[in-house]
Amino acid sequence: MKIGIVTVYEPTTNMGSFLQAYALKKALEKLGHEVYIIQNISTIKEILKLVMRVNPKREFFLRIKKAWFAKNDIKKLKLLNKSFVHNLDGLVYGSDEIWNLDNPYFMNGFFWGKDIELPKISYAVSVGAMDDEKICKYKSFVESIKEFRFILVRDIKTQRIIKKIRETENNIVCDPTMLIPIEELTENIKPLKYKYILVYTYGIDALMIEYIRKFSDKYGLKIVSVCFWHIWADVVIECSALNFSSYIKNAEFVFTTTFHGAVFSMLNHKRCCIFPYRSKVKNIVEQMGEESHLIENNCTYEEFETTIQIKFDSYLFEERLEKYRRHSQKKLEEALKCLIK
């Protein structure tokens, strides 16, 4: 079948958006389908918006590098303008928080299939932290979701809300980045010449910065931030989204606050410290049985240091991952049958 994926995919704000879209595309292609990512916004406009963003001048050259990598990454996705979706056999919505209507960007019916007559399913879609009652008040969203032939979600909260709207059961499946082998999401890089702790976060408070600095000084590590500029990092790296996993793999330790930062730390079996700013981060870590790598915002330095040095149990994690992956693959194949007209 010719299948279109409706999701966020631009690697201009974080690596996870691109990687989940790329992973789902690869998973569908393995099943023999011709797969496109549906383009909602002009790539050129998105790149220009990134470059021209009003930020400190010290970030300008990093933004240029980010734009260059983003442009090349997007070329790997096989985009199809949304005006031509009628040429497809069906659409897959997800993954990511494209049904989080608290985010103004997703208040666009494009993300929930409004007025689209093609067969529709979803994979690992999420409503984020949106309130149950609030989302059900959006009549256009509710009516559009009822038209889906099959819905697969990423988390318990979304499962509960969709069940309430459709009055039918729906299954939780893994994020697409966990659906295919990590090697398929990794392009090798030239290793850095120094040992480092990798940080991947939108931002953290002064106390956590102090912990990271103290730890890096004690163990002779550089603080390397990928994708995000932080004044307290020793090195800031912009790279292809497909290099992201390699930088994590080569790190001595990882500190992250994000969903995909946590996922890729686990996939690479890293000694890590995961500070879950949002419940989705904590949920995926606990779901994979790796809660020993979590810290709370009131932790002491001693707790931080102990947590980040915990050895990752690769064997147990891979056992759980394989089970979750098989379940998700089975449900995806079941859902795809519903796209047949």
Burial class (CB in 10 A: 0-12, 13-18, 19+), 42: exposed
* DSSP 8-state secondary structure symbol assigned to residue 126: -
Asked if 196 and 225 count as a contact pair (C-beta separation under 8 A), the reply is no
Cα–Cα separations (whole angstroms), residue 255 to 87, 116, 217, 293: 44, 41, 15, 10
Confidence at residue 259, expressed as pLDDT on a 0 to 100 scale: 96
Buried b / exposed e along 146-171 (16+ C-beta atoms within 10 A): eebebbbbbbebbbebbeebeeeebb
- Cα dihedral 332→333→334→337 (10° resolution): 120
The three-class DSSP label of residue 303 is helix
Q: At what angle do helices 156-166 and 139-146 cross, to 10 degrees?
A: 90
What is the rounded CA–CA span in Å between residue 341 and residue 333?
Answer: 16
Superfamily of domain 184-310: Glycogen Phosphorylase B; (3.40.50.2000)
What is the pTM (predicted TM-score) of this model?
Answer: 0.94
Fold of 2-179+324-339: Rossmann fold (3.40.50)
Confidence at residue 230, expressed as pLDDT on a 0 to 100 scale: 93
Confidence at residue 65, expressed as pLDDT on a 0 to 100 scale: 79
Asked if 186 and 26 count as a contact pair (C-beta separation under 8 A), the reply is no
3-state secondary structure 83-124: HHHHHCCEEEECCECCCCCCCHHHCCHHHHCCCCCCCEEEEE
Cα–Cα separations (whole angstroms), residue 79 to 44, 85, 211: 13, 11, 43
**Sequential pLDDT tens for the chain (341 residues):** 999 999 988 776 778 999 999 999 999 999 999 999 999 876 666 666 665 665 555 577 777 878 888 888 989 999 999 999 999 999 999 999 999 999 998 999 999 999 899 999 999 999 998 888 888 889 999 999 999 999 999 999 999 999 999 988 899 999 999 999 999 999 989 999 999 999 999 999 999 999 999 999 999 999 999 989 899 999 999 999 999 999 999 999 999 999 999 999 999 999 999 999 899 999 999 999 999 999 998 999 999 999 999 999 999 999 999 999 999 999 999 999 999 86
**Residue type, position 276, single letter:** P
CA 212 to chain centre: 24
Confidence at residue 333, expressed as pLDDT on a 0 to 100 scale: 98
**Cβ of 140: how many Cβ atoms within 10 Å?**
12
**Of residues 262, 308, 256, the one with CA closest to residue 285:** 262
Residues of the chain with CATH 3.40.50.2000: 184-310
Asked if 85 and 91 count as a contact pair (C-beta separation under 8 A), the reply is yes
